[in-house]
């Protein structure tokens, strides 16, 4: 199974074709953005370190809410 995580672009390094992606709760990581046309503030899906798709904010927030719900259910077990 493949899993792509949505995050918000907070900084872009065009020389390295990478960006800092904020996944929420203080989690930020670098991702390769050579496959997408992005700007700061955009939401992207990241899989295996690559931004593979640009999302609208509503779709990204809905997906992040589902991830948070799944994690909270796991903590209850």
Neighbour tally for 6: CB within 10 Å: 21
| 77 has pLDDT over 70 | no
Q: pTM of this prediction?
A: 0.87
CATH code at 5-76: 2.30.30.140
24 contacts 60 by C-beta, under 8 angstroms: no
Q: What is the pLDDT of residues 12-57, one digit of tens each?
A: 999 999 999 999 888 999 999 999 999 999 999 999 999 999 999 9
| 76 has pLDDT over 80 | no
Neighbour tally for 9: CB within 10 Å: 21
Q: Give ∠ CA 14-37-48 in degrees, rounded to 5.
A: 80
Question: For the chain, which residues make up each domain, given as ranges?
Answer: 5-76
pLDDT at 2: 80
- Look at residues 45, 71, 46, 70 and name the one whose alpha carbon lies nearest to residue 59: 45
pLDDT at 3: 87
């Amino acid at each position: 199974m493949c899993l792509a995580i949505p995050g918000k672009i907070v900084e872009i390094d065009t020389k390295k074709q990478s960006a800092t992606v904020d996944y929420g709760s203080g989690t930020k990581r670098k991702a390769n953005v050579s496959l997408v046309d992005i700007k700061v503030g955009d939401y992207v899906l990241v899989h295996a370190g690559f931004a593979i798709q640009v999302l609208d904010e509503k779709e990204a927030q809905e997906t992040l809410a589902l991830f948070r719900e799944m994690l909270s259910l796991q903590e209850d077990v």
